[in-house]
């Protein structure tokens, strides 16, 4: 009986060491960052400039962040150029498109009125 328990324990440990048993990162981290609800976009007018801050409000790294930018011209961004156009979407290009957990990304654009940036999709990269 002791030999069987020892063999089971060794097998279990070998799976852990090889990463087979816990290959999904959510076993290790309470990664509750589903969808786009944990990302906020805040902006406030300063003369004709609109500072924008995108904040990751959860413990997961995010990548491939897309915003609805139909009608927005990326050329209006004055500092710094962290967005790229893809049809009617804007793609976060800062840091290769990756924002770590709890990160903030800020940029400024010029306009007479605010643009309604809305996060439409992102990929979660739990770490």
For the record, the structure tokens of 94 come out as 């800062």
Give residue-wise pLDDT tens across range 5-28: 444 444 544 444 444 334 344 333
Number of domains composing the chain: 1
Distance CA 7, CA 61 (A): 38
Q: Identify whether 19 is part of a domain.
A: no
Q: Identify whether 15 is part of a domain.
A: no
Q: Identify whether 83 is part of a domain.
A: yes
**What values do phi and psi take at 46, rounded to 5?**
-130, 100
Cβ atoms within 10 Å, residue 91? 16
Q: Identify whether 92 is part of a domain.
A: yes
Whether the full predicted model's pTM is greater than 0.75, yes or no, is no
Q: Identify whether 101 is part of a domain.
A: yes
Give residue-wise pLDDT tens across range 40-74: 999 999 988 899 999 999 888 999 999 998 888 76
């Amino acid at each position: 009986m002791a030999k069987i328990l020892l063999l089971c324990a060794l097998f279990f440990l070998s799976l852990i060491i090889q990463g087979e048993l816990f290959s999904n990162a959510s076993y290790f981290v309470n990664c509750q960052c589903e969808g786009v609800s944990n990302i906020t976009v805040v902006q406030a007018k300063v003369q004709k400039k609109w500072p924008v801050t995108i904040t990751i409000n959860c413990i997961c790294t995010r990548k491939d962040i897309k915003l609805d930018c139909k009608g927005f011209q990326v050329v209006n961004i004055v500092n710094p150029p962290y967005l790229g156009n893809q049809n009617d979407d804007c793609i976060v290009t800062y840091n290769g498109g990756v924002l770590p957990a709890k990160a903030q990304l800020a940029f400024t654009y010029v306009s007479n009125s605010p643009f309604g940036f809305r996060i439409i999709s992102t990929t979660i990269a739990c770490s």
